[in-house]
Amino acid sequence: MDRGCRECLEIFAFEQALDVRASALVARAKEFCRPVIKRNNQRWTRFGWWCRLPIIGSRILNHIKEPFGLEPKPEYYNEAWYREEGGLIEVEAHKLEQMKGGHLAHWGDETVSPGDSSDPGGYYTPCYAPRSECYARNLLPFGPGKYDFSSAAGIDKLRTEDLVICSKTKRLVPLSECNFRANKAGVTYVWRGPSRPPERMPSTSSQPGFNEWRDQNHYAYCKHNPECM
């Protein structure tokens, strides 16, 4: 972004206004769920005390995984106010990307998540790359999670008040800052920290040549951005 560029200032103002709308919708959804979240967090707090007891604490966490009596979160995503405003924000987010994509001279270096319909799992595509390189490879960046109100990719912003137990530290941590693995015994949460993105499957020699872009750019990016590793 060039603050001396009129087009950049217009894009920035558009993004700031969209941020306000997205933040307001997130706040409303959190308020809608807060009573249940508060009760569940109390259950996790009591459960955490048991999990930190010497000798038996680890056994409890390994076998029980989560406290009894957790309440399901209210289905905010089915509320008309959430679906309507969330859908409008996603439409505006698409317009914002078109604006930035049409002004790569000043927005091409911004780090984004490349989208590739032929690689929905993101196994061959870098987690992050400059916008200009995405467009050079005919890939459209995924919209930022802060503007995603219809898929799991944007759900973390609505989990910042939900607490769980990290299986490694046995401490209460925000659900939005955890990776998790599910098996027959239940779900295990591992705190990754507030700035680290969710884990992605590493590249292997058995994957196609498209990995060259992942290897050269994704890991080069991560080398200078420790929060990615």
Q: 92 exposed, middle or buried (CB, 10 Å; 0-12, 13-18, 19+)?
A: middle
Q: Can you list the alpha helix ranges (DSSP code H) found in 65-157?
A: 80-101, 104-107, 131-136
**C-beta separation of 111 from 221 below 8 A:** yes
Of the pLDDT bands very low, low, confident and very high (cuts 50, 70, 90), residue 196 is low
Say which residues have a Cβ less than 8 Å from residue 219's Cβ, sequence separation at least 6. Answer: none
Does residue 222 or residue 92 have the better pLDDT? 92
Domain range list for the chain = 6-228
At residue 25, does pLDDT exceed 50?
A: yes
Of the pLDDT bands very low, low, confident and very high (cuts 50, 70, 90), residue 37 is very high
Query: Whole-model pTM?
Result: 0.79
The total of other beta-carbon atoms located within 10 Å of residue 81's CB is 12
pLDDT tens track for 158-178:
999 999 999 999 999 999 999
